[in-house]
C-alpha cells in the first residue's frame, strides 16, 4: 500500500517542532493492586524514582510525539502511521521550537509490527543537501545518510524488527529496530523562499510502502517477529490524557509536566511496544521495584505521593542541568561523543530528548548554542556583536553550515527581517587577511557591512550554529566557534 500524503502545515508557531501534533487518550483505569514503594531513611528510593524518570523520559516524550503526530486523515497537522507529512513552506515569523530556516522537513512515524516498512527517497541533485535520519522510540539513531554522504544517490531503506528473517529487495539497506515505532525525518536544503519550489519536487518523489504489497502478496496482520510485541493487537492499559493547556508545547515539555502517576503509566504502556535494550536490565529492575512493568497498569498509593514528588523534582533538576560531557568553548555549548548512540548514558539522552528531540550522531550534525557574550553577559539585541572567524576558523563541514538568531525562548523574531540566518552560501565580505566578521544586532550596521549582518530579535536572544555533516574537528572540540564579542 502506498502512502504519500501531502499537505501544507498550518502557520502556527507550535507546528514547527519536529513532531508537533495533537491527540488524546482515555482516562486511566484502576490497577488491581497498588505497588508498595519501599521508603528508607537513606533516600535510596527517592534517587530510584529520579533515576527511573531519567531512564524513561525519552520514551515518554516520543510516545507523546507519536500520539500527537499520527492522528487520522483530515486532522490538521496529523498524518497516519507510515505516511509522510511534508512541510511545504519555511517556518513563519514567530515560530517556536528553534526551527530550521534553511531546510524543508518531511517526517513520518513508522510501525514495523505487522510488516517491514520500505522507504524510497530520490537522489539529491548536484549541490542539494538531503539527509534522511531515523530514530527508535528511545531516540537512539538508527540511520543517517549524512553520516557518510550529505549529497546521496537514490535511497531504498528497509526498516525491519530485530530478528526478522524475510527477504528484502536486493538494493535495499536493511535497518533493524528493537522498537515497534520508528521516527523518520528527511531534510532538504532550501536557499530562501524562492527555492522552496525546487525542494518540493524532491518531497513529491518520496514514498513509504510496506513490504508485503511491494512483493504483490496478501497482507498478513500477524506480528512479523513472534513475541516481539506482546501487546500487539491486545488492549493496553489506558493512560491519563495530556493536559489541554500544554497542547502547543513540545513533546519534551509535555512529558516533563506530567505527574508521577501519568508519567509512569505512559512509560509502562509504551514499554510493551518499545522494549529496553539488553544493557538496560538494571534500570528495568528499578522500574519493577517501583511497580512499573511493561503493559501493566500503574497506580501508586496516595501515601507515596510526597516521595514520588521529591524524586521527580530531583529528576527535573537534572533535566535542566547541562550534562558534564558537553563541549563548552568560547561561550558556546554543543555535544559530540555519545550523541545518538547513548548506551547507558541516560542523563545525556534525557537532556537532549527534552530540548533537541531526535538529535543526530556527531557525524550527522552538531549544533553549538550561545546565550552569553565573551564577558558572560546575556546576549541582547540592543547591542552589536561580532563573530570574528579567522581564515581557517569557518565551520568545518562536508555539508553546509548556518547561524540563526532566536529569542530567549527559542522562537524566530516576531518582526520581518532581511534574513533569518547566515550560511556558507551567503556572499560574506572578507577582511584583507581573509578573515570574516559576522555582525549580530537588532539594528542594521549599515550598507557597508550589510552582507555580513545577522539580524537579531529585540531583547535577550540566543544563537544556534548548525553544522550539517560536520568534519571530525567540529565534534571532538579541536575546533570551536569564535566568542561573541560586544562592540
Residues 333, 203 within the same domain: no
Confidence of residue 37 (pLDDT cuts 50, 70, 90): low
**70 pLDDT exceeds 50?**
yes
- For the segment 421-426, the average pLDDT, to the nearest whole number, is 93
Read off φ and ψ for residue 83, nearest 5 degrees.
-140, 135
Give which of 455, 467, 377, 466 is closest to 416, Cα–Cα.
455
- For the segment 275-300, the average pLDDT, to the nearest whole number, is 94
Tell me the residue range of the domain where 381 lies: 327-486
Residues 312-341 have pLDDT tens digits of 999 999 999 999 989 999 999 999 888 999
Residues 250, 332 within the same domain: no
Secondary structure element (H or E) that encloses residue 197, with its range: helix 196-204
pLDDT for res 11? 38
CA atoms within 13 A on the CB side of 397: 23
Residue 108's domain is classified under what CATH number? 2.60.40.1610
Residues 235, 364 within the same domain: no
Residues 75, 222 within the same domain: yes
- For the segment 177-190, the average pLDDT, to the nearest whole number, is 96
Residues 145, 272 within the same domain: yes
- For the segment 121-131, the average pLDDT, to the nearest whole number, is 92
Read off φ and ψ for residue 405, nearest 5 degrees.
-100, 130
pLDDT for res 214? 55
Rounded to an integer, what distance in angstroms lies between the CA atom of residue 60 and that of residue 353?
10
User: What does the mean pLDDT of the chain come to?
Assistant: 86
Residues 52, 180 within the same domain: yes
pLDDT > 90 in the chain, percent: 67
Residues 404, 279 within the same domain: no
Residues 27, 154 within the same domain: yes
Q: Select the more confidently predicted residue: 406 or 243.
A: 406
- For the segment 106-111, the average pLDDT, to the nearest whole number, is 96
Residues 315, 411 within the same domain: no
- For the segment 244-258, the average pLDDT, to the nearest whole number, is 86
Boundary residue ending a domain (320, 347, 371): 320
Cell numbers for 485? 564579542
Confidence of residue 38 (pLDDT cuts 50, 70, 90): low
Contact 463, 403 (CB under 8 A): yes
Residues 311, 336 within the same domain: no
Boundary residue ending a domain (272, 294, 320): 320
Residue 380's domain is classified under what CATH number? 2.60.120.600
- For the segment 268-275, the average pLDDT, to the nearest whole number, is 95
Give which of 313, 304, 248, 206 is closest to 77, Cα–Cα.
248
The 10 Å Cβ neighbour count of residue 472 is 12
CA atoms within 13 A on the CB side of 250: 22
Q: What total number of domains does the chain contain? A: 2
pLDDT for res 96? 80
pLDDT for res 55? 98
Boundary residue ending a domain (320, 335, 359): 320
Q: Select the more confidently predicted residue: 192 or 482.
A: 482
- For the segment 167-195, the average pLDDT, to the nearest whole number, is 94
DSSP letters, 267-301, are: HHHHHHHSPPPGGGHHHHHHHHHTT--TTS-----
Residues 285, 430 within the same domain: no
Residues 95, 125 within the same domain: yes
Amino acid at each position: 500500500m502506498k502512502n504519500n500524503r501531502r499537505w501544507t502545515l498550518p502557520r502556527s508557531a507550535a507546528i514547527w517542532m519536529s513532531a508537533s501534533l495533537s491527540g488524546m487518550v482515555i482516562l486511566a483505569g484502576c490497577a488491581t493492586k497498588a505497588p508498595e514503594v519501599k521508603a528508607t531513611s537513606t533516600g535510596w528510593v527517592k534517587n530510584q524514582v529520579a533515576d527511573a524518570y531519567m531512564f524513561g523520559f525519552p520514551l515518554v516524550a516520543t510516545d507523546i510525539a507519536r500520539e500527537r503526530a499520527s492522528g487520522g486523515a483530515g486532522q490538521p497537522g496529523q498524518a497516519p502511521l507510515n505516511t509522510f507529512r511534508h512541510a511545504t513552506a519555511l517556518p513563519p515569523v514567530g515560530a517556536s521550537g528553534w526551527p530550521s530556516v534553511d531546510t524543508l522537513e518531511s517526517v513520518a512515524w513508522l510501525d514495523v509490527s505487522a510488516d517491514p516498512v520500505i522507504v524510497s527517497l530520490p537522489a539529491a541533485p548536484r549541490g542539494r543537501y538531503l539527509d534522511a535520519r531515523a530514530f527508535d522510540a528511545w531516540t537512539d539513531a538508527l540511520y543517517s545518510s549524512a553520516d557518510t554522504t550529505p549529497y546521496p544517490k537514490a535511497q531504498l531503506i528497509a526498516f525491519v524488527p530485530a530478528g526478522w528473517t524475510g527477504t528484502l529487495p536486493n538494493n535495499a539497506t536493511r535497518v533493524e529496530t528493537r522498537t515497534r515505532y520508528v521516527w523518520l525525518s528527511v531534510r532538504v536544503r532550501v536557499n530562501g523562499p524562492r527555492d522552496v519550489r525546487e525542494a518540493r519536487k524532491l518531497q513529491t518523489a518520496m514514498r513509504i510502502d510496506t513490504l508485503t504489497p511491494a512483493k504483490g502478496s496478501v497482507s498478513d496482520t500477524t506480528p512479523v517477529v513472534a513475541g516481539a510485541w506482546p501487546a500487539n493487537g491486545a488492549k493496553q492499559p489506558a493512560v491519563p490524557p495530556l493536559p489541554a493547556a500544554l497542547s502547543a508545547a513540545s513533546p519534551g515539555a509535555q512529558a516533563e509536566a506530567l505527574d508521577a502517576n501519568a508519567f509512569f503509566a505512559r512509560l509502562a504502556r509504551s514499554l510493551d511496544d518499545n522494549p529496553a535494550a539488553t544493557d538496560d536490565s538494571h534500570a528495568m529492575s528499578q522500574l519493577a521495584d517501583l511497580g512499573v512493568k511493561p503493559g501493566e497498569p500503574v497506580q501508586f498509593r496516595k501515601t507515596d505521593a510526597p516521595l514520588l514528588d521529591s524524586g521527580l523534582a530531583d529528576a527535573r533538576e537534572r533535566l535542566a542541568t547541562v550534562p558534564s560531557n558537553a563541549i563548552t568553548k568560547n561561550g558556546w555549548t554543543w555535544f559530540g561523543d555519545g550523541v545518538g548512540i547513548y548506551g547507558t548514558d541516560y542523563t545525556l539522552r534525557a537532556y537532549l530528548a527534552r530540548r533537541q528531540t531526535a538529535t543526530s550522531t556527531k557525524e550527522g550534525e552538531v549544533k553549538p548554542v550561545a546565550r552569553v557574550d565573551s564577558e558572560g553577559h546575556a546576549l541582547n539585541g540592543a547591542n552589536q556583536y561580532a563573530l570574528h572567524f579567522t581564515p581557517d576558523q569557518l565551520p568545518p563541514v562536508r555539508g553546509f553550515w548556518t547561524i540563526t538568531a532566536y529569542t530567549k525562548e527559542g522562537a524566530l523574531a516576531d518582526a520581518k527581517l532581511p534574513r533569518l540566518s547566515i550560511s556558507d552560501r551567503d556572499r560574506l565580505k572578507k577582511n584583507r587577511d581573509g578573515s570574516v566578521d559576522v555582525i549580530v544586532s537588532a539594528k542594521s550596521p549599515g550598507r557597508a557591512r550589510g552582507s555580513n549582518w545577522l539580524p537579531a530579535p529585540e531583547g535577550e536572544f540566543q544563537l544556534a550554529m548548525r553544522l550539517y555533516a560536520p568534519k571530525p574537528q567540529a565534534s571532538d572540540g579541536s575546533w570551536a566557534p569564535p566568542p561573541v564579542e560586544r562592540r
